[in-house]
């Protein structure tokens, strides 16, 4: 990387289940094709409905973690999640990288990445409930537990950019552009 070529920015996307993180990230990357949306490695079965991810067993995940293959990793909802170290190459090239993270891993974000931003995607509880029910990934009890966790706090001092995703995706993308690229908004 030359002196004039800036390091890319790691854009962490967080928010409660059902808020539309994957939809927002897909739409944002479609508008901004130079942004890399990284696939997560998850200990969810390959047949499970949900995001496009790399499914591995717990044993495989732990071996990858021990080998240093994750830039970030965490546990949530009884699963292991990891962001592959391949993101470092894209960042070094000056590309922004976008990933769906857990709020539990955010405190190490600024330690791990030279440049980062946190997008906290929000929506009213009734919107979250309808989206969780429509995706059909969890039982009614699991949906209720996820809704209960929806009003979480971000660790003090992290200053996330709050994006309301309760209308058309174009509105959420415009909010992100205004926050991340104010000179273009």
Q: Is the residue at 139 inside a domain?
A: yes
**What CATH code is carried by the domain that includes residue 116?**
3.40.50.300
Q: Is the residue at 71 inside a domain?
A: yes
Q: Is the residue at 68 inside a domain?
A: yes
Task: Report the range of poorest mean pLDDT among 82-86, 127-131, 146-150.
Answer: 146-150
Residues 6+ away with beta carbon under 8 Å from 182:
none
Q: Is the residue at 81 inside a domain?
A: yes
Share of the chain above pLDDT 70, in %: 90
The torsion angles phi and psi of 154, rounded to 5 degrees, stand at: -90, 145
Range of the domain at 132: 10-179
Q: Region 24-35: what's the mean pLDDT?
A: 95
Q: Is the residue at 100 inside a domain?
A: yes
Question: What pLDDT, on a 0 to 100 scale, did the predictor assign at position 145?
Answer: 77
Q: Is the residue at 39 inside a domain?
A: yes
Q: Is the residue at 15 inside a domain?
A: yes
Q: Is the residue at 3 inside a domain?
A: no
Q: How many domains does the chain have?
A: 1
């Amino acid at each position: 990387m030359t002196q004039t070529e800036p390091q890319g920015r790691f854009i962490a996307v967080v928010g409660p289940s059902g808020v539309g993180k994957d939809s927002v990230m897909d739409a944002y990357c479609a508008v901004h094709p130079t942004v890399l949306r990284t696939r997560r490695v998850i200990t969810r079965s390959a047949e499970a409905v949900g995001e496009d991810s790399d499914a591995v067993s717990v044993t495989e995940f732990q071996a990858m973690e021990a080998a240093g293959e994750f830039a970030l990793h965490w546990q949530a909802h009884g699963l292991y999640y990891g962001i592959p170290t391949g993101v470092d190459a894209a960042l070094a090239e000056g590309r922004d990288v976008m990933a769906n993270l857990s709020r539990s891993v955010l405190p190490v974000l600024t330690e791990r990445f030279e440049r980062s931003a946190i997008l906290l995607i929000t929506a009213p509880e009734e919107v979250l409930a309808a989206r969780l029910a429509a995706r059909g990934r969890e039982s009614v009890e699991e949906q209720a537990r996820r809704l209960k966790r929806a009003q979480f706090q971000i660790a003090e001092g992290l200053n996330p950019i709050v994006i309301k995703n309760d209308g058309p995706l174009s509105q959420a993308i415009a909010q992100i552009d205004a926050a991340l690229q104010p000179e273009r908004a």
